[in-house]
Each structure stands twice: as structure tokens, then as C-alpha cells.
Amino acid sequence: MSLFIDKHNRRKSPFILAVFGAALLNLCLFGLMYGLLAEPLYHAVAFASASATVAVHGLIVAAAGTALSCLLFFLKDKRIAPWSFGGLAVILGMFYASVFLLDPEVRPGMLWLISVYGLPPVLVGNAVTWLIYLAIRRFSPALLHRERKTIQEELREAAAKEAARKGEQEQASSETPEAPKAPESGASEAPEAGTPEEAYPELGPEAAASFRSAQDEAMLLYMDDDEESND
């Protein structure tokens, strides 16, 4: 856990991951530059001694690659540039350790290749970037100031933001007017006619009689008796 949490209970995993990624980036950058500059340097810079020629080529490539890697100082955390070359030194140490696992016949040649093509970038890069970092730390300490919150502070801020978001959602839902409910598609309006015969003329008088109340039946019976007495 010490790789991700410091002694002040603050997260530092972004820094560790950034350093690891920058170290791999530097390794790929130097490999690419060796591949691109090997032939032009061989034709442009050559000495009587092959070892001196190779050493000068390695220093030129190391200086050019370190200059490009110094663009990491434009990041917010200025420590990434020097620590990435520290990670590159760790990778070089792993290469040296792996050489001793090879056969004794192959070991001297691999040690020579690693020393010529791996050691100059590590030495030049660490020397340049750490000097720049120490100069920034001495003359411009404001560039290195970066507030880091503890895990408890980050959790409290996250909880406060979540509560504020829920409150805004509830307030927005309470202020939104409710839409009028549409009538159901299958529902029909009540008939405006007063009698069952007028409301349901298609059913006929026999079916309409089932909708009559007792008061309606008595009224109809009274009307029929009145008509017969008049006749």
C-alpha cells in the first residue's frame, strides 16, 4: 500500500503510474532515436577508433533524447521528468541482471551492447533532469507547489457533491409542473340524453327497459293509464 498511499494518508498512485509510463516512454524514445540516427551518425561522425565512434554516437543520441524528454517538465507535476529517468536506471539494472542468466559465451557481447546503448541515456538523462529540477526547486518553488488532499477530504468532497446533485434534482422535479392527464383511449363520455331510449337508440325499447329505474317505470305506467282514460 505504500506505493499508492503516502505517510500522510494521501493518494500517490497517479504519480507512480505517471513515472512508470514516462520511463517506458523514454526507453521507446531512445530505441527509436538509435534506430533512426545510427546510419546518419555513422556517415557524419567517424573516428579512427570504432569504440570512440560508438561512444560519441551514444552521447549524441543520449543528449538529443534527453532534450526531448525534458518536455515532461511542462507537466503540472515537475517530479515526473527526473523520476522517469530514475525508473529508466531501474530498467537498465534489470537488463544487467538478466545478462547473467545467459550463456557465458553470449554474456560479454550483451554487456557491451547494454553499456554502450543503455548507460549513456541513463547517465545524461539523470544528470540533466535532476539539475533542472533542483534549479526549479530553488529559484521557482511556486511551480512545484501542488496541494494534495487526504483520502478523508476527498471522500467528504465527493459526498458533498453527490448530496448537492441530488438536491438539485429534487428541486428541479418539484418545480416542474405536472402535465394534465390525458383521457383513456377506451373511455367514452357519458351520454347527455335524459332517457335510456334517447341515450341508446340502437338498442331498442326492450333493451332500453333494463336501464330504467323504478321511478321511471312508475312514471311510464301513470302516463299509459292517463292516455287510456282520455280515450
Q: pLDDT for 40-88, tens place per residue? A: 888 888 888 888 888 889 899 999 999 999 999 988 888 899 999 999 9
Say yes or no to pLDDT of 103 above 60. Answer: yes
Question: What sign has the CA pseudo-torsion 184, 189, 190, 195?
Answer: negative
Say yes or no to pLDDT of 225 above 80. Answer: no
- Residue 84's nearest CA partner among 25, 1, 5, 144 is 25
- Residue 18's nearest CA partner among 97, 78, 98 is 78
Q: Which residues lie below 8 Å from residue 3, measured CB to CB, with a gap of 6+?
A: 12, 13, 16
* pTM listed for this prediction: 0.57
What is the model's pLDDT at position 44? 87
pLDDT, mean of residues 138-162: 75
Contact between residue 53 and residue 47 where contact means Cβ atoms under 8 Å apart: yes
- Report the alpha-carbon distance of residue 20 to residue 164 in Å, rounded: 37
Q: pLDDT for 152-185, tens place per residue? A: 777 777 888 888 888 888 888 877 666 566 555 5
Angle at the Cα of 191 from the Cα atoms of 190 and 192, rounded to 5 degrees: 115
Grid cell at residue 221: 305506467
- Report the alpha-carbon distance of residue 139 to residue 169 in Å, rounded: 49
The 3-state DSSP class for residue 5 equals strand
